[in-house]
Structure 1
Amino acid sequence: MDLSIVIPLYNEEESLPELIAWIDEELQKLNVSFEVVLVDDGSSDKSWETVLNLKSRFGYLRGIRFRRNYGKSAALNTGFQAAKGDVVITMDADLQDNPGEIPELYRLIRKEGFDLVSGWKKKRRDPLNKTLPSKLFNRTARMVSGIKLHDFNCGLKAYKSEVVKNIEVYGEMHRYIPILAKRAGFANITEKIVNHRERKYGVTKFGMERFLKGFLDLLSVMFISKFGNRPMHLFGALGTLMFLIGFALAIWLGAHKLYCVAHGIEAQLVTDNPFFYIGLVCMILGTQLFVTGFLAELVTRNQPDRNVYSIKEEF
């Protein structure tokens, strides 16, 4: 199959008929085989019934329904594993992403050979309480990852199939898929300016807590990118450094005490010197960090599959 469209959705019963009709109009322009994978992230409205009704009109639709709400990252990850197309395009279900961008995104992957094409909502139709934090996060992500994208969090993206099959999206990591792709060895990444539309139905599903989660996940993804498979290199190095600092202080205190005793100089007790406790704490912390690195190495060598989401229905 040539193309898969993966759409995570949560309480989008109003927008789905219009969205699928628009996608169908654009896909019919392409002389390719395609499918649309709808992943219902535990909606509490009639989204799944709407998906079933649409299936009778559009035979290429596939649906996956979670038993409860796991989050956008879980929905995307499950959709990625289910997708059969050589090119995979993701978009949101709220009609803010324009299906008219699909042909060009497909061409950039298929003809230009990019691993990943990320949409850039250069002119956003969102309030300032969303746009300003997003600019801060995007700037930070560019600095720490070295990937020159303006909009990491845009839901409209295109991928080679090998990219989505070799990354794991969990937590709130959907914001940093380009970083995960680069970590997996897919560095041919570019962006395309896309048309961003105002929300037509419903309200946003993301609250203010997404900013804290986004920051924490950025730290996580950068740590995993550099030390995910070799945590001992971080914890072991820090532990060794801390232990050596503490050991050096202990040697200095002992040598100073012996020098004073040998020359008849009155000196305070070693345990009365604050550097004794600083050195002791450094050695204890160094040992703990080293053991943490060792345990982390054991965990990474025995990781179970974390992609366990309870699927209620699928077709």
Structure 2
Amino acid sequence: MKLSIVIPAYNEEESITETIDGIEKAFAKVNIEHEIFVVNDSSKDGTLQVLEQLALKYPSLKYETNEGPNGFGYAVRYGLERFSGDCVAVMMADLSDSPYDLIRYYTTMLEGNYDCVFGSRFIKGGKVIDYPFIKKIINRVANFIIKITMGIRYNDTTNAFKLYKREVIEGVKPILAPHFNLTIELPLKAIIRGYTYTVVPNSWTNRKYGVSKLKIKEMGSRYFFILVYCFVEKFFSRGDFKRK
């Protein structure tokens, strides 16, 4: 089963080399057919030039530029329309996600024949490194609200780093979120539409370079919109969107 890794990248010239090197170093130890698909989200720095050089080094690396509209969700959606694998993971370009966790996701998916594998940084075995305190508090409150609203047990919905079979990505369309609220739209739709999933522990490390693109003040209402949308689908659509 071929694994695709979609990585949205906006102004990540400082971190993208270490991210790709780290993935390839981890995958050199296992026999997993894979592609790395980096979506350059119209970066204003040297991200594109760095990708051009990396592609000469790694045959598995593919990259394209999203000319617009731009934003995290748009960039991920661009990749999800064009990946070639049988399953796809969304990873960040800033070194925050571990490729060794991704290998665990993949083997878990195969062994259990799950449609999705979700990570949690907040269960036994999970960990966060250098997580800003205020951001962590907001994260835990947001995930608690999502859990209660949607009636699920999963406690790390907002983390983008997840693995989906191709049929799940097709099954959750149309994808609406243009920004970071995509991180909750994909897993919530997968859950309420009846796809199977399991949760494994994963780690998260704060970025070494650059600045986070997530603006919490701007995103609150957008997350709320997607949460309400999924709530309405779960409780009022009478199963019209469930997988057949």
Q: TM-score range by the shorter chain?
A: 0.7 to 0.9
Deviation at 1:230, TM superposition (A): 9.4
> Which of 153, 176, 182 does residue 173 from structure 1 map onto?
182
> Which of 194, 201, 208 does residue 185 from structure 1 map onto?
194
Output the CA distance in 2 between the equivalents of 1:51 and 1:229.
Answer: 46
Aligned position for 2:18 = 18
Output the CA distance in 1 between the equivalents of 2:171 and 2:154.
Answer: 21
- Three-state SS of the structure 2 residue aligned to 1:199 is coil
Aligned position for 2:133 = 128
Aligned position for 1:300 = none
Q: Is the 8 A contact 2:7 2:36 kept in 1?
A: yes
In structure 1, the gaps of 5 or more residues are: 232-315
More helix by share: 1
Q: Is the 8 A contact 1:153 1:176 kept in 2?
A: no
- Three-state SS of the structure 2 residue aligned to 1:105 is helix
Give percent identity, aligned residues only. 29
Deviation at 1:33, TM superposition (A): 1.6
Output the CA distance in 2 between the equivalents of 1:37 and 1:112.
Answer: 26
- Three-state SS of the structure 2 residue aligned to 1:196 is strand
Change (3 A) 1:86 1:75: same
Aligned position for 1:194 = 202
Output the CA distance in 2 between the equivalents of 1:54 and 1:170.
Answer: 32
More strand by share: 2
Bigger RCO of structures 1 and 2 (CA < 8 A, at least 6 apart): 2
Q: How does 1:29-68 map to 2 (within 5 A)?
A: 29-68=29-68
Deviations 1:64-97 (A, max 9, x none): 2111452222222221221221221221111111
Aligned position for 1:206 = 214
Output the CA distance in 2 between the equivalents of 1:46 and 1:109.
Answer: 36
In structure 2, the gaps of 5 or more residues are: none
Deviation at 1:152, TM superposition (A): 0.5
Output the CA distance in 2 between the equivalents of 1:204 and 1:156.
Answer: 16
> In the alignment, residue 207 of structure 2 is paired with which amino acid?
R
Output the CA distance in 2 between the equivalents of 1:115 and 1:146.
Answer: 20
Deviations 1:181-226 (A, max 9, x none): 123331x222111111121001111112222321232112322444
Q: Is the 8 A contact 1:26 1:102 kept in 2?
A: no
Instruction: State whether structure 2 residue 146 is matched by structure 1 residue 141.
Output: yes
Deviation at 1:100, TM superposition (A): 1.7
Q: Is the 8 A contact 1:15 1:95 kept in 2?
A: yes
Q: How does 1:77-156 map to 2 (within 5 A)?
A: 77-122=77-122, 123-124=127-128, 125-156=130-161
Q: State how many pairs are aligned.
A: 230
Larger radius of gyration: 1
